[in-house]
Each structure stands twice: as structure tokens, then as C-alpha cells.
Amino acid sequence: MAVVAWRAVQLRFLVFSLLFAGACVPDDRPKGAATSASATAKLVAAPERRHPAPAGDSGSQPHNIVPGPVIETPFADNFDRAQLGADWNVTGGNWALREGRLCVSGAHNHPAWLLRRLPVNARIEFEATSSSPEGDLKVEVWGDGMSAATSTSYTNATSYIIIFGGWKNTFHVLARLDEHAPDRTEMRVEPGETDPRAQPALPDRAYRFKIERSDGKTVRYFVDDIEILSLKDPNPLLGDGHEHLGFNDWQVPVCFDNLTITPLKS
């Protein structure tokens, strides 16, 4: 009887040990695995940053940009401050103030728009510098103040597009609504050309731009006081949706400075 009782005690001890060991088996899953999966799901589901849709686009993108006042007296901005401020609407890219200039690279046709409104006739002056031998200095005038490219080709602009040394310094261009339009006004660039209008944009040189419209329909653009191109528009861009200046860029590092806008009488 004593032997039987002792074996019963041993059996109970063995069962208890097995149960205790099973309760202490470690969980091989990484700690926080459930949290990581949840965070990944949230990242995937998060909407990407959206930009205001172009005028005439019936998409669901927001149209909550509030235009500023019409420029009725000379306006100036030398960008000599820490923050760009409420006068400007940045539609994307890494636009920033650096050493008293408005600079960007790789904006991919997402402009920085001035929210103050251009009058129908105005003289717009500024300095522009490209840090690349590819040139590609770009500005938009009389646009809607909120649009940006929605594809690789910028065919949905709302403005006149002025490009100095575009397409890797092969063309100067003045286009209406579409920088690739077959009827755009252009000047082929030739290195070593004696005609200053056909010379490429040089890197690290601050060019003085002047853009004018004085008759409500003819846009002219000058660089260093030399008229590069002009466009007489039989259906000029006027009024609501065509009242803003935008500095723009595709890929190369560029900077803009010393902007002045002077209303002109027709």
C-alpha cells in the first residue's frame, strides 16, 4: 500500500510539472507585431497629399484658396524673411526661402503662386537664377493662383508660361495654357549664337526678367532688357481664373528674387 501511495504522489507531481511548463512556453511572435500591422494598414490607407484642381476640372480636389486683393499700386517682395507668408500659395515641391531668395528644385510643375491679383495690364520684374547648365527658368503669368500639373506633361496650365532655356537649354518659350502647344511662340537656343535672344541660360547667373502686358492682349517678355518673345492673343486670358503670378520649376535648382509688379494703364 505504501508503494502504491508513493507512485500516486509521483504521478500527481509529474502532471503538475507538465501543466506548469506549458504555461511558461514563450510566445515566438515579435513583440508589438499587432501594433506594427495596424500602423502599416493606416499608412496604406492614408490619402496622399492632394493639390487644388485646375480651373474647369470637375474632380473632387479642394478649391479653398482665397485670392488676395488686386494690385493697384506697385507691389514688391524681396523674400528677405524667415517664412514665405500668407501672400503665397505653394502647390507642392520643396519651395523655401534661402539667403533672401525663393528657391526650389524638383517641383515638377507645382508652382508657388502669388495670391495678390494681377491687374489686366502690368509690368512684372524679378531676378531668376538656375544652378544648372540645363537652364530651365520658368514663370507663369495671369493664371488661376492654385493649379499645378496633374501629369508629367504640363498641358493643363491656366496661364501664359514663360520658359528661358527650357528642354535642357534648347528653347526659349512663351506659351498659352500648354507649354507643349504646337502653336507656342519659341526661340531655338544655340550655344555660341551671336544673337543674344538665342543664347542659352547660363548657370549661376542672375537674369533680370521683365514681363509686360499693356494693351490687354499682347504679352512680351524681356531678359536683361532684351525682348526675347511676344504673343498677341486674340482670346486673352483675363478676369477670374487669370489674375495671378506663379514661379515654377521642373527639376533643376532655381531661385527667384526682387519681385516688383507695377500696374499699367491701357
Give the pLDDT confidence score for residue 66 in this predicted structure: 86
Backbone angles phi, psi at 189, to 5 degrees: -95, 135
Task: Compute the average pLDDT of residues 119-143.
Answer: 98
Residue 35 has pLDDT above 90, yes or no: no
Q: Please report whether residue 114 resides in a domain.
A: yes
Residue 131 lies in a domain: yes
- Looking at residue 227, what is its pLDDT? 98
pLDDT tens track for 50-68: 334 333 333 333 446 789 9
Computed from CA positions of residues 113, 117, 122, 126, in that sequence, does the dihedral angle turn out positive or negative? negative
Window from 43-47, 129-133, 157-161, 257-261 with minimum mean pLDDT: 43-47
Residue 216's pLDDT is what? 97
pLDDT tens digits, one per residue of 147-158? 999 998 899 999
- 3-class DSSP state for residue 120? coil
Neighbours of 222 (CB within 10 A): 18
CA distances from 73 to 41, 153, 246 (A): 53, 36, 19
Q: Pick from 224, 136, 227, 235: which is nearest to 183 by CA?
A: 235
- Provide the CATH number for the domain around residue 112: 2.60.120.560
User: Radius of gyration of the chain from Cα atoms?
Assistant: 31
The structure's pTM equals 0.77
**What one-character DSSP code corresponds to residue 118?**
P
121 domain-assigned: yes
Tell me which of 192 and 79 has the higher pLDDT: 79
Q: Is residue 142 left, alpha or beta, with left meaning phi > 0 and alpha meaning psi from -120 to 50?
A: left
Does a structural domain hold residue 47? no
Annotate 162-199 with b (16+ C-beta within 10 A) or e (fewer): bbbbbbebebbbbbbbebeeeebbbbebeeeeeeeebb
Is pLDDT above 50 for 36?
Answer: no
For the stretch 5-16, pLDDT in tens is 445 444 444 444
The predicted pLDDT at position 21 comes to 41
Is residue 48 one of the residues assigned to a domain? Answer: no
Domain extent, residue 249, equals 75-263
42 pLDDT more than 60: no
Between CA 52 and CA 63 the distance in angstroms is: 6
What local confidence, expressed as pLDDT, does residue 4 receive?
A: 42
- Asked, for residue 156, whether it belongs to a domain, the answer is yes
How high does pLDDT run on average in the chain?
82
Q: What is the pLDDT of residues 89-125, one digit of tens each?
A: 999 999 999 999 999 999 999 999 999 999 999 999 9
Q: How many domains does the chain have?
A: 1
Is the per-residue pLDDT at 131 higher than 80?
A: yes
Question: What pLDDT shows up at residue 55?
Answer: 37
Distance, in Å, from the CA atom of 102 to the CA atom of 126, rounded to the nearest integer, reads: 11
- The verdict on residue 11 lying in a domain is no
